């Protein structure tokens, strides 16, 4: 509770409260309520860096979990405004670093060798984010230039404090607002905790990078740095250096002669390909984790947060996207019902009409005129009206979709997400939902049956034995039940006789 109070107090003390309320165009009643609740506790707020703008100042002072939310908002100028989005960009990779001596000590402790033996050069931090910072170094043995990522000291405890506060807030919300339970706040926090836990073990990030590279090695216009396994561990990750222009620096991109419109489309299409084709995608694709190489390739790095969706969910997601692209809202509604996303007691046609009201404003309209904030607000109203629950398995997918669209539109504000997504989704539909996909599913089923073929007779025999034993048990139970009724009948019939004998 103290942590949550301090959150509000920090926003008030740093001046961030007013900026956030303005960005979301909060009504006057909400503004007054927030000020009345928070102002008495203003003295508990963390002062932060006075030189920083109010919102980044507050989020940085509050710690890594809050910084994560700021990173997401930094990709959404259509939601928070261009000025605030630009201010929040510093949260992606320009946070205050920790000391060089502490970083060197962690490298030596994790890898087991002195830094000077491993690297002929080891720079000051070149980038610092919420969880770790990066140093540019040169290997002593090969001369290769590498990036050495080192976790912040005490980061695990800091996240634990924030997550405990989030669980407390989620419990309060579910207790005080029964209507909010469909959004499953506790499940959302649990999902966030699992994601963060994976990000705090750099060995998992190394494995993510390896799998991601194997999946995407044939993707044109896309590069990944390579992991140096012998110089990586739980708190240290060493990778080949990614040289390029930051994807968030439009002036530098223009100066290098790159086509921003083509880059904006490629970012979105790469994400959709990875999510639909592979079911394994980069789930933290903000500008701080993306560069443009000299040859125009997009370079992705920082694989701490990766998303995974199974084949069935991919097909459902693709059908929903495809239905929106074709403006077939009836089919989109049917897919929601077939997948169990909407309770069966609701009307499919009514849900389709509600989806039409969400989707139609997108088509035939200049993307610069679409208010994503209003669109998301209306979609939230629709899901509430039809009792849809939060799908925790889709949280990363939905969140990354929003982030990637924001990144794409920062490169090309006139980009229309549906037009760019159409060829990728159509290709997936053609290969995964048509006759060819049905044949593939049957082949996979036959392969499983063949693999278990030698065990099938035993499995069938065991099933028949279990059924026979169950039938015997049911027969014995029925016999005991009948015997019990007979015994009860005899006793009841004997009672008058016993009474007569006793009287005689």
Instruction: Determine the pLDDT at residue 71.
Output: 73
Same domain as 29, residue 166: no
- 57, 50 in Cβ contact below 8 A? yes
CA distance 373 to 389: 21
Comparing CA positions, the residue from 286, 340, 258 lying closest to residue 90 is 286
Average pLDDT, integer, range 320-330: 82
Domain final residue, candidates 427, 451, 475: 451
Same domain as 462, residue 400: no
Average pLDDT, integer, range 370-394: 62
Taken in order 129, 149, 197, 289, is the CA torsion positive or negative?
A: positive
Q: Does residue 365 belong to any structural domain of this protein?
A: yes
CA distance 271 to 262: 14
The 3-class secondary structure across 114-165, one letter per residue, is: CHHHHEEEEEEEEEECCCEEEEEEEECCCCCEEEEEEECCCHHHHHHHHHHH
Same domain as 341, residue 296: yes
Whole-number average pLDDT of the chain: 80
Domain final residue, candidates 410, 434, 451: 451
Q: Does residue 126 belong to any structural domain of this protein?
A: no
Q: Does residue 187 belong to any structural domain of this protein?
A: yes
Q: Does residue 214 belong to any structural domain of this protein?
A: no
Same domain as 384, residue 469: no
How deeply is 435 buried, as exposed, middle or buried, from its count of CB atoms within 10 A (0-12, 13-18, 19+)? exposed
Strands (E), 317-412: none
**404 contact partners, CB below 8 Å, separation of at least 6:** 267, 268, 271, 285
First to last CA, the chain: 80
CA distance 110 to 98: 17
Domain final residue, candidates 65, 93, 121: 93
Same domain as 388, residue 371: yes
Stronger pLDDT, 432 or 286, i.e. the higher one:
286
How deeply is 339 buried, as exposed, middle or buried, from its count of CB atoms within 10 A (0-12, 13-18, 19+)? middle
pLDDT in tens, 96-119: 888 999 999 999 999 999 999 999
Stronger pLDDT, 271 or 180, i.e. the higher one:
271
Which tokens go with 276?
Answer: 């639909």
Average pLDDT, integer, range 494-503: 54
Residue with tokens 């250096």: 241
Q: Is 342 helix (H, G, I), strand (E, B) or coil?
A: coil
> Looking at the predicted structure, is the pLDDT value of residue 202 above 70?
yes
What is the CB neighbour count within 10 angstroms for residue 470?
A: 10
Taken in order 480, 482, 488, 493, is the CA torsion positive or negative?
A: negative
* DSSP H or E run through 292: strand 290-292
Structure confidence at residue 269 as a pLDDT band (50, 70, 90): very high
- 138, 146 in Cβ contact below 8 A? yes
Same domain as 440, residue 333: yes
pLDDT in tens, 235-252: 999 999 999 999 988 999
In the set 78, 162, 284, 302, the catalytic residue is: 284
Q: Does residue 135 belong to any structural domain of this protein?
A: no
Same domain as 459, residue 446: no
Stronger pLDDT, 488 or 126, i.e. the higher one:
126
Instruction: Determine the pLDDT at residue 494.
Output: 54
CA distance 196 to 467: 47
Stronger pLDDT, 144 or 447, i.e. the higher one:
144
Comparing CA positions, the residue from 283, 278, 273 lying closest to residue 394 is 283
Instruction: Determine the pLDDT at residue 351.
Output: 87
Comparing CA positions, the residue from 262, 284, 265, 289 lying closest to residue 423 is 265
Same domain as 342, residue 433: yes
| Highest averaged pLDDT of the listed ranges 250-259, 323-332, 475-484 | 250-259
Q: Which residues pair with 146 in a beta bridge?
A: 137, 240
Instruction: Determine the pLDDT at residue 169.
Output: 79
Q: Which residues pair with 300 in a beta bridge?
A: 290
Structure confidence at residue 47 as a pLDDT band (50, 70, 90): confident
Instruction: Determine the pLDDT at residue 166.
Output: 79
Q: Does residue 98 belong to any structural domain of this protein?
A: no
Instruction: Determine the pLDDT at residue 255.
Output: 94
- 155, 63 in Cβ contact below 8 A? no
Q: Does residue 102 belong to any structural domain of this protein?
A: no
**Pick from 107-121, 334-348, 465-479, 480-494: least confident:** 480-494
pTM for the model? 0.70
Same domain as 436, residue 374: yes
Instruction: Determine the pLDDT at residue 93.
Output: 66
Which tokens go with 192?
Answer: 């966030």
CA distance 498 to 7: 81
Same domain as 165, residue 293: no
Domain that holds residue 189: 157-195
Instruction: Determine the pLDDT at residue 136.
Output: 95
> Looking at the predicted structure, is the pLDDT value of residue 12 above 90?
no
Instruction: Determine the pLDDT at residue 160.
Output: 81
Same domain as 442, residue 472: no
CA distance 391 to 188: 9
Q: Is 284 marked active-site?
A: yes
> Looking at the predicted structure, is the pLDDT value of residue 491 above 90?
no
Q: Does residue 189 belong to any structural domain of this protein?
A: yes
Same domain as 376, residue 309: yes
Stronger pLDDT, 38 or 57, i.e. the higher one:
57
Number of domains, the chain = 4
């Amino acid at each position: 509770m103290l942590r949550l109070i301090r959150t509000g107090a920090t926003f008030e003390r740093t001046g961030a409260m007013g900026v956030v309320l303005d960005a979301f165009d909060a009504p006057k009643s909400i503004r007054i309520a927030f000020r009345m609740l928070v102002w008495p506790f203003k003295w508990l707020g963390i002062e932060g860096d006075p030189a920083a703008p109010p919102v980044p100042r507050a989020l940085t002072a509050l710690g890594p979990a809050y910084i994560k939310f700021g990173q997401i908002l930094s990709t959404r100028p259509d939601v928070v405004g261009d000025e605030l989005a630009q201010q929040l960009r510093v949260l992606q990779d320009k946070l205050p670093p920790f000391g060089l001596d502490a970083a060197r000590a962690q490298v030596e402790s994790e890898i087991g060798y002195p830094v000077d033996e491993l690297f002929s050069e080891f720079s000051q931090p070149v980038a610092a984010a919420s969880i770790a910072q990066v140093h540019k170094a040169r290997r002593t043995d090969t001369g290769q230039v590498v990036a050495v990522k080192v976790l912040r000291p005490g980061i695990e405890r800091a996240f634990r404090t924030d997550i405990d506060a989030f669980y407390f807030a989620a419990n309060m919300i579910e207790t005080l607002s029964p209507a909010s339970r469909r959004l499953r706040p506790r499940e959302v926090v649990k999902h966030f905790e699992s994601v963060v836990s994976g990000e705090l073990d750099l060995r998992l990030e190394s494995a993510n990078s390896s799998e991601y590279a194997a999946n995407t090695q044939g993707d044109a216009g896309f590069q990944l740095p390579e992991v140096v396994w012998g110089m990586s561990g739980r708190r240290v990750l060493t990778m080949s250096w990614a040289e390029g222009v930051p994807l968030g620096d439009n002036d530098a991109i223009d100066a290098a002669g790159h086509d921003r419109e083509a880059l904006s489309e490629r970012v979105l299409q790469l994400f959709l390909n990875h999510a639909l084709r592979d079911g394994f995608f980069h789930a933290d694709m903000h500008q701080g984790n993306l560069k443009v190489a000299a040859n125009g390739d997009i370079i992705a790095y920082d694989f701490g947060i990766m998303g995974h969706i199974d084949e069935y969910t991919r097909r459902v997601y693709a059908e929903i996207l495809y239905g929106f692209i074709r403006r077939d809202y009836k089919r989109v509604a049917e897919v929601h019902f077939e997948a169990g996303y909407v309770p069966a007691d609701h009307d499919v046609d009514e849900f389709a009409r509600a989806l039409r009201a969400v989707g139609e404003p997108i088509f035939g309209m200049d993307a610069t005129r679409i208010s994503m904030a209003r669109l998301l607000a209306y979609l939230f109203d629709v899901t509430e009206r039809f009792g849809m629950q939060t799908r925790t398995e889709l949280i990363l997918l939905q969140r990354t979709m929003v982030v990637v669209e924001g990144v794409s539109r920062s490169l090309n504000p006139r980009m229309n997400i549906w037009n760019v997504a159409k060829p990728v989704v159509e290709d997936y539909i053609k290969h995964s939902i048509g006759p060819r996909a049905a044949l593939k599913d049957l082949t996979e089923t036959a392969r499983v049956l063949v693999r278990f073929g030698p065990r099938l007779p035993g499995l069938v025999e065991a099933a028949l034995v279990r059924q026979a034993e169950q039938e015997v048990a049911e027969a014995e139970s029925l016999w005991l039940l009948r015997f019990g009724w007979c015994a009860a009948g005899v006793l009841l019939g004997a009672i008058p006789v016993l009474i007569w004998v006793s009287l005689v």
